[in-house]
Amino acid sequence: MLTERKVSWWRGGARRCCAPREKENREESSSAAAAPPTSPPARAAAAAMGNAQASASSTSSPRFAMASRAFSRQELDDLRALFVSLAAQSQTGGRAISRPVFLEYFGIRGALGDRLFQLVARESGGGEGVTFEDLIVSKATYERGTRDEVDEFIYQLCDVTGDEVLERSDLETILASIRETIFSENKEAGEGSNKRTFEAFINSAVFSKDAEGVARKSMSLSDFRSWCILIPSLRKFLGSLLMPPDSGRPGFQVPALHYPENISPDLLLLNKEYAWHIGGGFSQQEVQEWRLLYHSSLHGQSFNTFLGNVTNGDAQTVIIVKDTEGFVFGGYASHPWERHSDFYGDMKTFLFKLYPEASIFRPTGANKNLQWCAVNFSSDSIPNGIGFGGQPHHFGFFLSANFDQGHSFTCTTFTSPALSKTNRFRPEVIECWGIQTKGALDEKAELVKGTVLERFKEDRNMLKLVGLANASD
C-alpha cells in the first residue's frame, strides 16, 4: 500500500538527506550573527527576516528542523524570500501560498499541477495553501533525498486521483499535463499526431500489480521505475517540478529542429514530442539545436548521398527509420560516421523506439560493439552498411549499404529487443539529424566558406570515408 510506505519515507526522508548541511549551517549562522547589516534598510530587512524565522522555528515540527539542514543559509534565505513574495500575492495574510499563485509560478498545467500542490501542502494540512514549512520539507525530500525517496514521491505524484492505485488513466493524465505544459505552443504538430505520439509512451509501460477492488492490473513502484528508465525525459521532467521556472529545468527542454523551409513537417519522422523523448538521453547542451542532414524522400534512398551529407555535417547524429510495417525506431551515434572494419564509438551511444512504443536503450557495458560503419569492404565477415550493437550480421540495428533492407535483433550491448516488427525489415523512410550545441549554427555561419582548401578537405574526407584516400595520394 502506498500509505504504509509513505509514512516511513516522509518521516525519514528529511533526516537522511539533511545531515551533510548541519555543520555548514551552524558555521554560517555564527558568521551571520557576527556581521550584522550596516545600512538601515538592510537592518530592517534582516530584522523582519529574523522575526519571521524565529516565528517559524518556534512553531516548526522536527521534520522541518531536519529538512532545513539540507540547505545552506543562503539557500534558506532565498527560499524564504520566494515564499514571502508568493504568499504576499496569495491573499492569505502572508501565511501561505495559494493554489492559483503556486500553479502560476511553477507553471505546471493540468491535473499534475493540482496533485503537486496537494502533496507539497500536506505537511500543514493544506488549509490555506503551502506554508514555508511545507515548501522546505517537500524540497528537502524531493530534491535532496535519496533516489528511493525521490522515486516514491514522484510515484505518488503520478497517482493523480490519490486512490493509491496507479493505472493507465493516471499516466494518460500525467502525459496530458506534460503536453499542455511543454508543447501547448507547438504549432508544428497537429492534435492527432500529438496524441498518437504520447500513446507510444504509455504503450511502453508495464502494469503488473494486483490492486484490491480493481479489475485491471496497476503499476507498481518497480514498474514505474522501469518505465522512467525507458523514458528518461519523463523522469527528468517529474523530478524538477519544484525548481525555479527560469533555471532551465531538466525535462522541460525541447530541441529546436532546423530543416529547409520548403519541407512540410508532416514529411518528417521526427516531431517535437519524439525529439523531447530522444533528448532525454542527452545533456542539456545537446538538447538545444538539431539540424536535418539527410532525408530519403528529399535526397533519394542513397547510401553515398547519406555519407556525403553526414561527413560534412555534425559529429553526433540521430538516425531514424520508418519501416514498411509502420514501426519507427533508430539510434544515436556519438561519433562521426567514418569507415571502420570493426566496431567503434563510446558509451554515449544508444538505441531507441518511437512507435508503436517509445523507449530508450542505453549501453550495458557487456561489450564495446557500439557503432558500425563499413564501406567498400569485400569480405563477407565485414557487412557494408551502418549499425549499432550486437555482432556483424546480427546487429541490434543495421542498415545495408544499399539502404534497401536492414535488420534488428535482441542484443546484449543495449539490452534491447528487436526494434522492428520482424527481425528483418525494409525501410520506407530514413532520416538523419545532426546534434548541435547552442550557437553552433551561428559559429558555422562565420567560418570562411567555399575556399579551395576547404573544398579539398571535404573531398578528401569523403574519399577517406569510402576507403579511397590513400589511392588518390
Averaged pLDDT, groups of 10, the chain, 473 residues long:
40 44 45 42 41 44 91 96 97 95 96 96 84 95 93 96 93 95 64 75 95 86 97 96 88 92 92 95 84 94 92 84 98 95 97 98 97 96 98 98 97 98 97 79 47 48 50 40
CA angle 92-96-102, nearest 5°? Answer: 105
3-state secondary structure 61-99: CHHHHHHHCCCCHHHHHHHHHHHHHHHHCCCCCCCCECH
123: left (phi over 0), alpha (psi -120 to 50) or beta: alpha
Residues 6+ apart with CB under 8 A from 374: 339, 340, 341, 382, 383, 384, 385, 401
Q: Per residue in 165-197, is it b (16+ CB within 10 Å) or e — as a string? A: bbbeebbbbbbbbbbebbbeeeeebeeebbeeb
Tell me the one-letter amino acid at 172: E
What pLDDT, on a 0 to 100 scale, did the predictor assign at position 211? 78
What pLDDT, on a 0 to 100 scale, did the predictor assign at position 439? 52
Residues 338 and 464 sit within 8 Å (Cβ to Cβ):
yes
What pLDDT, on a 0 to 100 scale, did the predictor assign at position 248? 83
Rounded Cα distance, 470 and 192, in Å: 52
Q: Per residue in 364-402, is it b (16+ CB within 10 Å) or e — as a string? A: eeeeebbbbbbbeeeeeebbbbbbbbbbbeebbbbbbbe
Residues 6+ apart with CB under 8 A from 452: none
Residues 398 and 391 sit within 8 Å (Cβ to Cβ):
no
Distances from the Cα of 176 to the Cαs of 115, 202, 204, in angstroms? Answer: 14, 11, 16
* Domains within the chain, CATH numbers bracketed: 2-32+52-232 (1.10.238.10), 256-465 (no CATH)
What pLDDT, on a 0 to 100 scale, did the predictor assign at position 460? 52
Rounded Cα distance, 355 and 235, in Å: 20
What pLDDT, on a 0 to 100 scale, did the predictor assign at position 445? 47
**Residue 22: all three cell numbers together:** 548541519
Q: What string of DSSP letters covers 158-222?
A: H-TT-SS---HHHHHHHHHHHHHHHSTT--SS-HHHHHHHHHHHHHT----B--TT-SS-B--HH
Tell me the one-letter amino acid at 185: E
Rounded Cα distance, 30 and 63, in Å: 23
Residues 247 and 213 sit within 8 Å (Cβ to Cβ):
no
Model confidence pLDDT, tens digit, residues 58-94: 346 888 999 999 999 999 999 999 999 999 999 999 9
Q: Based on DSSP, count helices (H) and strands (E) in the chain, helices before strands.
A: 18, 12
Residues 434 and 290 sit within 8 Å (Cβ to Cβ):
yes
Rounded Cα distance, 162 and 157, in Å: 8
What pLDDT, on a 0 to 100 scale, did the predictor assign at position 127? 81
Element holding 399 (H helix, E strand): strand 394-400
What pLDDT, on a 0 to 100 scale, did the predictor assign at position 9? 39
Model confidence pLDDT, tens digit, residues 11-23: 344 444 444 444 4
What pLDDT, on a 0 to 100 scale, did the predictor assign at position 34? 38
Residues 362 and 281 sit within 8 Å (Cβ to Cβ):
yes
